Amino acid sequence: MLRTFRLIAGAVLVLAASAAIAQGPAGNDLYPLKKGNKWVYKVDAQEVTVEVVGIEKVDKDDLIKLDTKVGGQTKASEYLVVKADGVYRAKVNNDKIDPPVKIVPIPAKKGDSWKIESKVGTQTVKGEFKISDDKTKVMVPAGTFENAILIEGNDLDIAGTKTSVKKWFVPGKGIVKLTYTIQQTESTLELKEFTPAK
């Protein structure tokens, strides 16, 4: 039971502090961020739900809020902002990210890479992400998808903890699969269901 709790807690951490690609000025829809869009992920025998719940105005930016829920309870909230040159993470829960982390350039292409070095509250986050493939096949409970984009972050440092992340994005669906390793423990989230906003 304790192991399952740790896996779910890790999943919430990674989803809330992960690379997210959003619908932006260039029409990129690798992570559709319309209010009401909802993803249900399978992690072991549990489910993690992520939902776009709205937009909040902070300073001059419109921040897109996503809630991550386990067992119907919100465990984390993430705030994204879409700019002309890419998507940035500006806030996690009540912690401002300084400076905002560029999640992905727009447009996203194989071989693109970007370094991150920021503070989330008093915690540091640094490392590098790379788009290692833009035409890979991925199979999850929600189906088999062609031409997924694979983003990898190896040897990330999140609050002093070494973390590695791999994420598969599919146009119109967002993140369909995510694997992460925290302190030598690997876990996988797979998309079970995506429900677009009505």
DSSP assignment of 65-80 equals EEEEEETTEEEEEEEE
Q: How many CB atoms lie within 10 A of CB 69?
A: 17
| pLDDT of 108 | 77
Token pair of 146 as six digits = 């062609």
Query: What is the set of domains in the chain, with CATH numbers?
Result: 2-195 (2.40.360)
Q: Cβ(161)–Cβ(17) under 8 Å?
A: no
* C-alpha dihedral (47, 80, 152, 12), degrees to nearest 10: -30
Contact 69, 48 (CB under 8 A): yes
DSSP 89: E
Higher local confidence (pLDDT), 10 or 43 = 43
In eight-state DSSP terms, residue 184 is: T
pLDDT tens per residue across span 42-94: 998 899 999 999 998 877 888 999 999 999 899 999 998 888 777 788 888 88
Q: How far apart are CA 50 and CA 37, in angstroms?
A: 8
Mean pLDDT of all residues belonging to the chain: 82
Question: What are 111-153's pLDDT values in tens digits?
Answer: 999 898 999 888 888 999 999 998 899 999 999 999 898 999 9
Report the distance separating Cα 177 and Cα 58, nearest Å: 31
> Each residue of 162-177: pLDDT tens digit?
889 999 988 889 899 9
Tens-place pLDDT, residues 14-33: 554 443 333 333 335 777 88
